[in-house]
Chains A and B, each alone.
Chain A
Amino acid sequence: MADTAALENSKKIQTLRKSPASLLRTAFEAGSVAGTVELREVPFLTMAGLRVDPAGDAGQRLGALTGGLPSASGEVRGSGDTAVLWLGPAEFLLVAPAESHESLGGELPRTLIAALGDGQGQVVDLSANRTTLELSGPRASAVLEKGCALDLHPRVFQPGTALSTEIGGIPVVLWKTGDETYRIFPRASFAEFLGRWLLDAMREYASTEVP
């Protein structure tokens, strides 16, 4: 457990760090079309990779802590501001606010590692693995449809569903958090490419529609 001085030092260091898509922040602001389609980065979310058999003892212990583990492709479980996304039959991605990370005084992933104990499985801090791009607005799905082969029709892809797939040719996890809001998790090294790809796909909605 970090002592207060170490925590203060750690918080100081946090102010110096740069998120993977930070250099595009002004471009995201300029490229967003208010009320139509908007893009922003949600930096530094706490993420943890969980690899555990959900039916086993260790899986039960982790599930009790996270508000359950999803059991099928697309499912998202969780409680409060913590969500667990299904990545595979025994692989899950936990997503929580940045402040939940132990370097900022939170409890994650320490409590998860403690819950796993010496049970079979793995808890890995993946907070720096991916960043989060949030695409929202009535045209958000039209933007994604330019480079994602999934059926994004609201009849099929409903809020509260997350799938790993490809957007613009790169592997991402796509999580529909609201009727018109998507969270996209690209790996850090793909963040700039995906950010620019999305900006390009959004560009047409900045001009008036040709009747």
Chain B
Amino acid sequence: MLLIPCPNCGPRDETEFHYGGQAHVAYPENPAELTDREWAEYLFYRDNTKGAFAERWLHSTGCRQWFNMLRDTVTYDIQAVYPMGQLRPATGPTAPTVTSPVSPEGAVK
């Protein structure tokens, strides 16, 4: 179970959310001028990124607000949560590079 930090409500269980697919897919400037292929690509074709992926989420059981989230599709690490309409933040490293604190047992994580 993912624990998703809603920007309004704080961390909540994944079951309270709806997934909204890839973020930042811009609506075409002139949809009438697109070929069928271009229109189909706008509607149905999405990236299948391995690593940091910007996606939309809806807190459907809570505040019912949409937000964007940068999530690593391999580690499920949530790297950033940011409002709709804001540009995607810089991709963080896939695995944290900061040295982890030493655990009480003395073993380095």
Contact = CB atoms under 8 A, between A and B. Distances in A.
Nearest to B14: A149
B61 A73 contact: no
Contacts of B64: 87-88, 91
B16 interface: yes
A56 interface: no
B43 interface: no
Nearest to A166: B61
Contacts of B8: 73, 88-89
A165 B59 CA distance: 10
Interface centre among A87, A91, A164 (most CB of B within 10 A): A164
B75 interface: no
Report whether over half of chain B's contact residues are helix, strand or loop; otherwise say mixed. Answer: loop
Nearest to A74: B9
Interface residues of A, number: 11
Report whether over half of chain A's contact residues are helix, strand or loop; otherwise say mixed. Answer: strand
B96 interface: no
A163 interface: yes
Contacts of A91: 63-64
B21 interface: no
Given A73-B10, A165-B12, A165-B16, A171 B65 contact: no
Contacts of B12: 149, 165
A164 B10 contact: no
Contacts of B62: 73, 88, 163-165
A171 B8 CA distance: 18
Nearest to B62: A164
B16 A166 contact: yes
B49 interface: no
A124 to B, nearest CB: 15
Interface string A143-179: 0000001000000000000011110000100000000
Interface of B: 8-10, 12-13, 15-16, 61-65
9 contacts: A73-B62, A88-B62, A89-B8, A89-B63, A149-B12, A163-B62, A164-B62, A166-B15, A171-B61
